[in-house]
Structure 1
Amino acid sequence: MEDKLRVDKWLWAARFFKTRSLAVEAINKGRVHVNGQQAKPARDVGAGDLIDVRRGDLDMTVRVRAVSKVRGPAPVARELYDETPESVAAREKAAETRRLAPEPAADLAEGRPTKRDRRLIDRWRQS
């Protein structure tokens, strides 16, 4: 373990992103903030820094506990940070909202109608 590490490497080692290039892409798009300021990939982070990460519709605020250059197993990566209580509460509330009001298109498991399906629909509409 070291004192400081680039934020893109830390996000990769902490398993927020599958590759460093995905971490760099998210940072360049402004989806990562360190101590309230927009970060650049080479920004150093250390223990005690506060990192805001947005992935899709998931926003997380974590406090860095340790840094590691290597990407270890998920339980070890989880020890590199602590999620803030406000972040946990917001994430759980968003999950509950998604559970109570699911996406309307989620029921469409079969996808678009086939050509045969469209012909049957057209026949049904004409009669």
Structure 2
Amino acid sequence: MNATVQEREAVRLALYQFSQRAKDIMDRLPDRTDIVPFEKMKLRALYTALKEDLKDAADRGTVAPGWDKQNQLEKDYFQPAVVDALKLLRARANTNPITSNWLDCISSSRQIIIAYMDNLERLGS
């Protein structure tokens, strides 16, 4: 594989950002039995944006919009990570974030992204 350090860092950073967005949502969910309407709207917006951005990234296959051609790291790590992560976000955005399975879906999705990041890190070692 002939990947540059910049390509590896771009893929790592893009995956890290998705992971952190998922973590942000997860951090707002545990140990809650109720949620006020404003918080519910905010969580739904965050979750919907995450799903849409993962879908866009999966469709485009590249780290950044406007990049014409996938590099090998995007083919091997980025696109599979976002496709697999998106598949696990099965919870519907219009459900209750607390009483539905959002936490499980987001956690599983995030673990997929982290696994691809770990594999990418081993590549650079």
User: Would you say same fold, with TM above 0.5?
Assistant: no
**TM-score, normalization by structure 2:** 0.25
Higher relative contact order (CA 8 A, sep 6+): 2
The structure with more helix, counted as a fraction of residues: 2
The structure with more strand, counted as a fraction of residues: 1
